Amino acid sequence: MKDKEQERIIKTAYSDVMQKSYIDYAMSVIIARALPDVRDGLKPVQRRTLYDMHELGIHYNGAYRKSARIVGDTMGKYHPHGDSSIYDALVVMSQDFKKGLALVDGHGNFGNIEGDGAAAMRYTEARLTKIAEENLLSDLDKDVVDFIPNFDETEKEPSVLPAKFSNLLVNGSEGIAVGMATNIPPHNLAEVIEATKAYIKNENITSDELMKYVSGPDFPTGGIITNKDELPEIYRTGVGKVKIRGKIEVEQAKGGHVLVVITEIPYTMIGAGISKFLQDVAALQETRKTTDIVDISNQSSKEGIRIVIELKKDADVENFKNLLYKKTRLEDTFGVNMLAIANSRPETLSLREAIRYNVEFQFEVNRRKYTTLLQKEREKKEVQEGLIKACNVIDLIIEILRGSRDRAQAKACLVEGKTEGINFKAKESKIMAGMLHFTERQADAILELRLYRLIGLEIDALKKQYEETTANIYKYEDILDRKDSMAREIIKDLDLIKKQFSRERRTVIDNVAEAVVVEKPVEEIDMVFLMDRFGYCRVIDTATYERNKEAADTENSYIVNCKNTGKLCVFTNKGNMHSFKVSDLPYGKFRDKGLPIDNVSGFDSKNEDTVLVMSRDDISSMKFIFVSKQSMIKYVDGSEFDVAKKTVAATKLNDDDELKGVCVMTPETYVVMASHKGYLLKIDTTQIPEKKKAAVGVRGMKLGADDHIEEVFFGDMGAEKNIVKFHEKHIDLQILKPANRDGKGSKMR
């Protein structure tokens, strides 16, 4: 028994199992979740939601139904992946600011363009839109697409919806799969339909030629596409970047002020991007990129976007507009990646390929549709021919019916001419009955015939219906036999869709020069940098500092004179130097709180302590002394710190070491190292070697066991006194005797 069990064990490398499982998972996400189908432009969750609404009878001209009912029914029947993904799909399909054509008509709070989310599904209601019902879900009863089993094989669902236009291009799509992503912009319905018609008439048409009809993306939010000349390459390859700007209008306000009004935003700003834009505009004023802003207000409503920026009277409006384009997301980039599922595999599509796949799908759907219709018309014709023939011998048929024992006997006589057992009034009737030869379908129709159908007018109507049926059969056979006839029917449907649902293009496409900001020369002003013990920093003008000098010196840990056009740097105990512009700091009143230094530099207040804050102006002409906790000392030429990076390693530290002191060195500078155990060692700069910033340095003071440098004091030999406080004692450093480096120092008394 054990041998048999061992034979069933299949040994496989763990890496092989992981590789196969991950590939299966990735393909499942790509095909069945994240990417749209090129034929109907829908992801599975969207397709299932729309089909479920169709099955529930939630028509565009009927009553709304609770979103929770739609979501629950879709999840239970077709999409067992959680209710949030279904509701999110439902919400997005209803948002006309995201979709070129909304496929769901939402009733209630379905979110807005400023990023507010939709209300919970138990509060909102929805129904199909007319275009979704008539052009994505119609003809499902005509065997136009394949139906496949649902996840538990208790229901059937369409593998694709019979879309009559390229929904992929009109509504666009976005999604992230495993190792790939799609980002297809929405387009104008009328333009896509004209391009589709052009392809039907000429299958050899190129993407460049199709762009005579599809000039580029048409975003629901409008805006201006500024790189028109780059679009042909994007549509040839299916990949590229579309540059889009918001639309600005200039109005005059009372008092001579100018109003810069943003009426359209880039498509990429939908959602939280609007609030971020407002913050960025405010930051332009705070950082003094501009001083022209008087007020900012968001007056947007259901009627549309209206963001108003009030400027001073003498403001340079054109330069300010360029500043908005350059420094905010009012000009942004939409990354095009036209990736979709085609022939059951992901494919990056050109404009021509996207339209080609849709046209091929249209021909396939219409072939199946007219095949079904032709079959129904032929069956109808067969019945009608039987009824017309029956009307001509109605007296004989009535005699057969009256003389038969049951339905089966009467039907056998009508189909096969069997007269045995039927009572006829005349011998001639029996002979004529034996000559009858109706089909099964005709016989059933005759047996179900109501007497009122024998009225003369009804018989005439029947003959007229027969003529119509014959004409339909001829029409359907012509459509199925001739490609140009089917093409005419497809074009007729496209023209009807265009007439009913098309709208004017919203996005303007042009070649626009890159925004150039002419920065006004900034007047250089003396400033004072203040940073309190909590790390909040700001700058004030020197006059304000002089008026509040006593309070400023008491309340702040670091006070540095600087220029408004200059830079400052912070040396930290971790051996880093963080640089930042003075213009990045808030400038205002003395009592303003300021900003944490973390916000304007790479300083990490959780893990670093400030050792020195100083101006970076002329840093390359300076020399810096570094002293560490383990008594390593050196000086470094300032040119090594004249770099563009905001954060650099100012010195190398050993393990468990940290920087205790930094100072700008002069010939008169001396250093006093004070150890934890109370030893003091004073050395002058001639004792300090020059090293690179990447070097550790040399030992400055010989430390005893369990001792370390607790504080470092820097002094000037020319000063009369230099009183410092150490271990609760006041010491005049000037009276300490200089000693050689690497000495033990003297014990503090």
Distance between CA atoms of 100 and 119, rounded to whole angstroms? 22
Six-digit token string for 685: 């700069």
Identify the CA nearest to 125 among candidates 98, 97, 94: 94
**With 0-12 CB in 10 A as exposed, 13-18 as middle and 19+ as buried, what is 4?**
exposed
Q: Are residues 475 and 559 in the same domain?
A: no
What integer pLDDT is reported at residue 7 of this predicted model? 65
List C-alpha distances in Å: 265 to 92, 169, 224, 306. Answer: 19, 21, 9, 10
Phi-psi region of 150 (alpha: psi -120 to 50; beta: other; left: phi over 0): beta
What confidence tens digit (pLDDT) does each residue in 362-402 have? 999 999 999 999 999 998 898 888 888 888 888 888 888 88
Distance between CA atoms of 85 and 487, rounded to whole angstroms? 38
- Long-range contacts, stretch 53-61, CB < 8 angstroms, 24+ apart: 53/104, 53/126, 53/127, 53/128, 54/128, 54/133, 54/137, 54/140, 58/126, 58/127, 58/128, 59/127, 59/128, 59/133, 60/105, 60/127, 60/128, 60/129, 60/130, 60/132, 60/133, 61/130
What integer pLDDT is reported at residue 10 of this predicted model? 77
Cβ–Cβ < 8 Å for 51, 93: no
What confidence tens digit (pLDDT) does each residue in 689-748 have? 999 999 999 999 999 999 999 999 999 888 888 888 898 888 888 888 999 999 998 888
CA torsion through residues 353, 358, 363, 367, sign: positive
Decide if pLDDT at 612 tops 80.
Answer: yes
Decide if pLDDT at 449 tops 90.
Answer: no
Decide if pLDDT at 475 tops 90.
Answer: yes
Out of 132, 163, 194, pick the residue that ends a domain. Answer: 163
Q: Are residues 667 and 574 in the same domain?
A: yes
| Helix then strand then coil, % of the chain, to nearest 5 | 40, 25, 35
Decide if pLDDT at 1 tops 50.
Answer: no
What integer pLDDT is reported at residue 31 of this predicted model? 61
Three-state SS string across 507-526, please? CEECECCCCCCCCCCCCCCE
What confidence tens digit (pLDDT) does each residue in 333-372 have? 999 999 999 998 899 999 999 999 999 999 999 999 999 9
Identify the CA nearest to 462 among candidates 445, 474, 479: 445
Q: Are residues 431 and 562 in the same domain?
A: no
* Residue 204 DSSP SS3: coil
Q: Are residues 270 and 140 in the same domain?
A: no
pLDDT band at 411 (very low <50, low <70, confident <90, very high): confident
Residues near 724 by Cβ (< 8 Å), separated by ≥ 6?
A: 672, 713, 730, 731, 733
Sheet of strand 125-128, all strands in order from the earlier edge strand to the far edge: 65-66, 125-128, 104-107
Cβ–Cβ < 8 Å for 281, 328: yes
Q: Strand pairing partners for 128?
A: 104
- Taking each helix axis as running N to C, give the angle between helix 440-447 and helix 351-392, from 0 to 180 degrees, rounded to the nearest 10: 60
Phi-psi region of 196 (alpha: psi -120 to 50; beta: other; left: phi over 0): alpha
User: What is the CATH classification number for the domain harbouring 428?
Assistant: 1.10.268.10
Six-digit token string for 495: 């023209």
The b/e string for 183-211 (b: 16+ C-beta within 10 A; e otherwise) is bbbbbbbbbbbbbbbbbbeeeebebeebb
> Is residue 419, in this structure, part of any structural domain at all?
yes
What confidence tens digit (pLDDT) does each residue in 130-168 have? 999 999 999 999 999 999 999 899 999 999 999 999 999
Six-digit token string for 246: 């918001």
Residues near 114 by Cβ (< 8 Å), separated by ≥ 6?
A: 271, 274, 275, 298, 300
User: What is the CATH classification number for the domain harbouring 109?
Assistant: 3.90.199.10
Residues near 197 by Cβ (< 8 Å), separated by ≥ 6?
A: 491, 494
- Domain count within the chain: 4
Out of 119, 139, 163, pick the residue that ends a domain. Answer: 163
Cβ–Cβ < 8 Å for 171, 47: no
Q: Are residues 532 and 599 in the same domain?
A: yes
CA torsion through residues 80, 83, 88, 89, sign: positive
Six-digit token string for 200: 């039907």
> Is residue 20, in this structure, part of any structural domain at all?
no
What confidence tens digit (pLDDT) does each residue in 703-719 have? 999 999 999 999 988 88
What integer pLDDT is reported at residue 274 of this predicted model? 86
pLDDT band at 288 (very low <50, low <70, confident <90, very high): confident
Cβ–Cβ < 8 Å for 172, 100: yes
Six-digit token string for 341: 């599922």
pLDDT band at 286 (very low <50, low <70, confident <90, very high): confident
Place of tokens 């954060």: 647
Decide if pLDDT at 657 tops 60.
Answer: yes
Q: Indicate the range of 12-21, 184-193, 219-228, 473-482 predicted with least confidence.
A: 12-21
pLDDT band at 457 (very low <50, low <70, confident <90, very high): low
Please measure the distance between the N-terminal and C-terminal CA atoms of the chain and give it in whole angstroms.
90
> Is residue 557, in this structure, part of any structural domain at all?
yes
Distance between CA atoms of 635 and 623, rounded to whole angstroms? 7
What is the average pLDDT value for the chain, to the nearest integer? 89
Cβ–Cβ < 8 Å for 187, 170: yes
Place of tokens 């090293």: 691
What confidence tens digit (pLDDT) does each residue in 422-436 have? 888 778 888 788 788
Phi-psi region of 653 (alpha: psi -120 to 50; beta: other; left: phi over 0): beta
Distance between CA atoms of 416 and 438, rounded to whole angstroms? 8
Six-digit token string for 277: 């834009």
Domain range for residue 402? Answer: 378-481
Q: Which are the catalytic amino acids?
A: 123
If one counts every other C-beta atom within 10 angstroms of the C-beta of residue 429, the result is: 19
Out of 163, 181, 216, pick the residue that ends a domain. Answer: 163
Q: Indicate the range of 26-40, 383-397, 625-639 predicted with least confidence.
A: 26-40
> Is residue 80, in this structure, part of any structural domain at all?
yes
Q: Are residues 405 and 549 in the same domain?
A: no
If one counts every other C-beta atom within 10 angstroms of the C-beta of residue 729, the result is: 10
User: What is the CATH classification number for the domain harbouring 277?
Assistant: 3.30.1360.40
Identify the CA nearest to 285 among candidates 588, 589, 591, 600: 588
Distance between CA atoms of 537 and 273, rounded to whole angstroms? 28
List C-alpha distances in Å: 134 to 42, 99, 138, 161, 387. Answer: 16, 18, 5, 11, 35
> Is residue 210, in this structure, part of any structural domain at all?
no
User: What is the CATH classification number for the domain harbouring 584?
Assistant: 2.120.10.90
Strands (E), 23-88: 65-66
Residue 259 CA to its chain's centroid (Å):
31
Distance between CA atoms of 429 and 435, rounded to whole angstroms? 10
DSSP conformation class of 743: B
Cβ–Cβ < 8 Å for 146, 333: no
Residues near 570 by Cβ (< 8 Å), separated by ≥ 6?
A: 577, 578, 580, 597, 601, 603, 610, 612, 613
- Taking each helix axis as running N to C, give the angle between helix 407-416 and helix 394-403, from 0 to 180 degrees, rounded to the nearest 10: 140
Average pLDDT over residues 47-66: 95
Q: Strand pairing partners for 726?
A: 729
Q: Are residues 631 and 693 in the same domain?
A: yes
> Is residue 675, in this structure, part of any structural domain at all?
yes
- Give the residue with greater pLDDT, 392 vs 185: 185
Considering the chain, what percentage of its residues have pLDDT values greater than 70?
Answer: 95
Q: Are residues 272 and 385 in the same domain?
A: no
pLDDT band at 2 (very low <50, low <70, confident <90, very high): low
pLDDT band at 301 (very low <50, low <70, confident <90, very high): confident
Q: Are residues 400 and 310 in the same domain?
A: no
Cβ–Cβ < 8 Å for 70, 110: no
CA torsion through residues 279, 283, 289, 292, sign: positive
Q: Are residues 600 and 740 in the same domain?
A: yes
Distance between CA atoms of 330 and 335, rounded to whole angstroms? 16
Average pLDDT over residues 531-550: 91
> Is residue 1, in this structure, part of any structural domain at all?
no
Cβ–Cβ < 8 Å for 336, 242: yes
Q: Are residues 680 and 588 in the same domain?
A: yes
Decide if pLDDT at 318 tops 80.
Answer: yes
What integer pLDDT is reported at residue 37 of this predicted model? 92
Average pLDDT over residues 119-127: 96
> Is residue 606, in this structure, part of any structural domain at all?
yes
| pTM: predicted TM-score of the whole model, two decimal places | 0.73
What confidence tens digit (pLDDT) does each residue in 63-112 have? 999 999 999 999 999 999 889 999 999 999 999 999 989 999 999 999 98
Six-digit token string for 396: 């004989």
- Strand duo 156-158 + 65-66: pairing: unpaired
Q: Are residues 588 and 452 in the same domain?
A: no
Distance between CA atoms of 531 and 593, rounded to whole angstroms? 10
Distance between CA atoms of 428 and 213, rounded to whole angstroms? 73
Q: What's the chain's Rg over C-alpha atoms?
A: 42
